[in-house]
Amino acid sequence: MKLAITLRHLATGDSYATLQYEFRVARNTICLLVKEVCDALVMELKNEVITCPTDRGTWEDVAEEFLMRWNVPHACGALDGKHVAIRKPLKTGTMYHNYKGFFSVFLMAVIDADYKFMWIDVGGFGSQSDAQTC
């Protein structure tokens, strides 16, 4: 039940108020269990899903894959950032207000040639630029 509620919230963005009627679980309980399930998923899957190369040979393999698959020589990954919309946190002023006109946290990620995450940084203020988040 906890996993189903969390996955529904993450996949659809349904509010806790909506989910409480759908699953017949109190809103304050949903608030606690979504964080609990997300923390458990991160702890269980982080080493399988996100693996950053640590030695020269592995980096060379990543570069070789970029060359073979995408015809891009000497690439060690593809880097990009994304503003993830959030509600304005209390007492934060304009720290999370981005240039696009909404409140966000910034997600920056590096992927390999197969679109697998090698590195992720989440939580930069929406007002920061790409260069400030790294």
Residue 129, pLDDT score: 64
Helix (H), strand (E) at residue 60: helix 56-70
Quote the mean pLDDT of the chain: 89
Quick check: 21 pLDDT over 60?
Answer: yes
Q: How far is CA 98 from the centre of its chain?
A: 18
Q: Are residues 62 and 120 in the same domain?
A: yes
Best-predicted range by mean pLDDT (66-70, 101-105, 115-119): 66-70
Region of residue 111 (left: phi > 0; alpha: psi -120 to 50; beta: else): beta
User: Are 35 and 84 members of one domain?
Assistant: no
3-state secondary structure of 122: strand
> What mean pLDDT is predicted for residues 89-106?
87
Q: Are residues 66 and 85 in the same domain?
A: yes
Maximum distance among all Cα pairs of the chain, rounded to whole angstroms: 54
The reply to whether 75 and 122 lie within a common domain is yes
Q: Are residues 24 and 10 located together in one domain of the fold?
A: yes
Residue 33 has pLDDT above 90, yes or no: yes
Our count of domains for the chain comes to 2
Q: Which domain holds residue 83?
A: 50-133
Same domain, yes or no, for 54 and 105?
yes
pTM for the full model?
Answer: 0.68
